[in-house]
Amino acid sequence: MKESMFYNANPLIFKKAEELRNNPTQAEDLLWNYLRQNELGIKFRRQHPASIYVLDFYAHSIKLAIEIDGNIHQNEKVKQNDIERQKHLESLGINFIRFTNQQVLFEPERVINFIQQKIIVSKNNIVQITNSPSGAGGFIIPAIDIIEGKCVRLTEGDYAQKKIYNEHPLEVAKQFEDAGLQRLHLVDLDGAKAGKVTNWKVLETIAAKTKLIIDFGGGIKTDKDVTIVFESGAALATVGSMAVKKETEFVKWLVQFGADKFLLGADVKNEKIAVGGWLETTDIWVYDFIQNYRGKGVQQLFCTDVSKDGKLEGPSIDLYKNIIQQFPELYFIASGGVSSIQDLEALKTIGCKAAIVGKAIYEGRIELNELSKLNN
């Protein structure tokens, strides 16, 4: 066997792996009984030594690890150790899927379906960022926020602080396209507030009359909403609140539609996740949120610091730098607070893969020709 398969694990790690292999949990036994049959076309090994750790299951041909977390993993110290452990192994090129004991024991079909989807993605390299919709189109992603079919911007996500910039979003989208930009971040603020996709006609019109690569979010709550978004012409569905409030449902979508079809949104206030069009804050730490979904196959994420959004006071450089350092392989998109070309250059410097720009364009702080130059 190739030494690289074990990432220089020492004899003590091999001994620990053997001990764990002889004393599997009920969930590990159940999943192993399926994986070892090789019905997925990929050879997995159980309790596999890797560097200074032991992985529950590992397929070296696609560098995919599957971890099953018991109740002890809810302990804060254990959770932090999991984060550091996964970060180290990801730096070696290993990808992760994480499940809880309960998911494996009580939702085995869903677990298997998710693993199957991840294997397909890995084998065909369709989640390689450079080939995915979010990896195309350059660094600049202009934004259009929609209320009652009109192009608006909010300040700090406050619906009472809205300003209408154009009553015809298609005109704005065409201006972006004419300037050489290729992406569009389209947000249905009515939908986010109502809890259902509302302004899908705007999406349909822009998708039909431009060649922009569109990600669309706001109010995506059901399978039907996801279907409407894709059928209306979006390349990506942007999901935030659902990933927080109904994780099981969102994970089902990742399997059903493909993880490469979703852009995960993390709206943040004081490093805590906000939901419902920024109307509600939670106690979920943004780093835990990202870690959780990295383990479920999500590769693409944009983060908005709500305290900065729409205020033209500059982006949250420190926050974004910390996220990029913790998750270096994440396709990270910055959002909120951009007020100048210098801000965008700073975001590029710290390693952001792309940046969403909105109010700075509408207020004339940044000219479209400047964005076009920076985009190339």
Tell me the sheet residues that pair with 167.
Answer: none
Q: Is 248 left (phi over 0), alpha (psi -120 to 50) or beta?
A: alpha
Three-state secondary-structure class, residue 54: strand
Active site residues: 145, 267
**Region label for 58, one of left (φ > 0), alpha (ψ between -120 and 50) or beta (otherwise):** beta
Q: Please list the residues that pair with 202 across neighbouring strands.
A: none
Instruction: Judge contact between 371 and 340, C-beta under 8 A.
Output: no
Sign of CA dihedral 102, 331, 228, 193: positive
Q: Are 47 and 21 in contact (CB under 8 A)?
A: yes
d(CA 375, CA 251): 33
Question: What is the C-alpha to C-alpha distance for residues 306 and 6, in angstroms, rounded to an integer?
Answer: 43
String of DSSP letters for 160-187: EEEEEEES-HHHHHHHHHHTT--EEEEE
Provide the CA 176 distance to its chain's centre, in angstroms: 25
